[in-house]
Structure 1
């Protein structure tokens, strides 16, 4: 790959390098350690309770009572161990399942309706809590378990932000039907999509392959470059005159 022209700013050069070498950009910068962190007896007991709570949810269509029971158990774990990041991420996922269990509508649409807005706020809050608790200092390696948690939480939050952006952009004729959580109100569709792209970026860096793809597809610089290239090609086609 050739280096960007010297007339570009350092920031623009970094952006272009990231766009044209996306795989390298997404896979670098996060050191993941395979060493396990010594667990205390209380940690083992909490983990066992958490696993017992979420195992019944590992089915194509868990029942509403099963989901509610899991959420209640995760509530108890969080009350006992408010710094236990994994329980927040799992409670967020369980609450998403609760929306699916109570309606035949698409969960993403329910999240941003009057019926689901409070729950969507809780889900985003739990994901943010999990991310904040599990994110290491810049110089520290990330334990494998934390990397998996961060990968899932960033990707989940990115998906919700992307759905919020799409809900706004596709409902301009009936904006009253879209109810965003308080933390997202007043943000434009473009801003929400940029926030989603950043979450996908981190989800990819922590190992989620789907997030890596979505990070590039939703990257505003990539979309801008794609639009410029498309416009240039269209202009070139207009000027092209076939030989007789």
Structure 2
């Protein structure tokens, strides 16, 4: 579509009180959609997606730097732990979820400072609808994390659970921390969970509804 025709179409829609165009209806649909799943794709299509800017947040998320010194894990041991973790994940994915949890629990019992095992056991607990235990594990994963990927995933998992529980402020904080660690889901979610952005978004959405659908209250 050319710029000329687009400009003409826009002029007609603002100067006419006729039927709402399909473009405007789609815009309203995007503005009023609130589900986490799929909303980022709609935002990208609509051109409204904004990447999370960690420079605008004064909080930091880098405890893994200190943890490397406090809870050292040498490369040989780390390889063994990862292999056991992979086996536990495969067990869970094969359908025996509890056996996978038990294998991860054994790793944690032997090496209680190994963050990744807490992170993966939390995922298993979520599949068992045990959010309380999942949150406890994620707190431990965050406490002992020694790399950004694990830390970011833990913050993001925690944010998703808290969001589902209705704790929007805590969800935003954890999404923002996950975003700083480079987690892509958190980077997409953090701007949407910002309470100030949400308030502005609702105000803009209401203004657009009044503009696009005349007479709607």
TM-score (norm 2): 0.61
Aligned-pair distance for 1:22? 5.7
Distance 2:61 2:124 in 1: 28
Aligned-pair distance for 1:126? 0.1
Query: RMSD of aligned C-alpha atoms?
Result: 3.4
Q: What SS does the aligned partner of 2:170 have?
A: helix
State the match for 1:197 in structure 2: 172
**2:109 corresponds to 1:42:** no
**2:62 corresponds to 1:25:** no
Aligned-pair distance for 1:147? 1.1
Pair 238,161 (structure 1): closer, same or farther in 2 beyond 3 Å: closer
**2:187 corresponds to 1:215:** no
Cα distance per residue 1:139-190 (max 9 Å; x no partner): xxxx6xx11111211111111111111xxxxxxxxxxxxxxxxxxxxxxxxx
State the match for 1:121 in structure 2: 132
State the match for 2:20 in structure 1: none
State the match for 2:102 in structure 1: 72
Show structure 2 runs of 5+ residues with no match.
1-48
Pair 230,41 (structure 1): closer, same or farther in 2 beyond 3 Å: closer
Pair 207,238 (structure 1): closer, same or farther in 2 beyond 3 Å: closer
**2:86 corresponds to 1:51:** yes
Distance 1:94 1:237 in 2: 45
Aligned-pair distance for 1:75? 0.9
Aligned-pair distance for 1:217? 1.1
Residue number among 91, 113, 117 corresponding to 1:87 in the alignment: 117
Which range is displaced more, 208-217 or 41-50? 41-50
Pair 132,22 (structure 1): closer, same or farther in 2 beyond 3 Å: farther
Aligned-pair distance for 1:57? 3.5
State the match for 1:180 in structure 2: none
Cα distance per residue 1:4-63 (max 9 Å; x no partner): xxxxxxxxxxxxxxxxx9636237877899xx99824333322221222112344xxx41
Distance 2:119 2:141 in 1: 6
Distance 1:224 1:120 in 2: 28
Distance 2:52 2:193 in 1: 17
Pair 75,203 (structure 1): closer, same or farther in 2 beyond 3 Å: same
Aligned-pair distance for 1:93? 0.8
TM-score (norm 1): 0.55
Show structure 1 runs of 5+ residues with no match.
1-20, 100-110, 112-118, 135-142, 166-191, 240-244
Pair 223,72 (structure 1): closer, same or farther in 2 beyond 3 Å: same
Who wins on radius of gyration, i.e. which is larger? 2
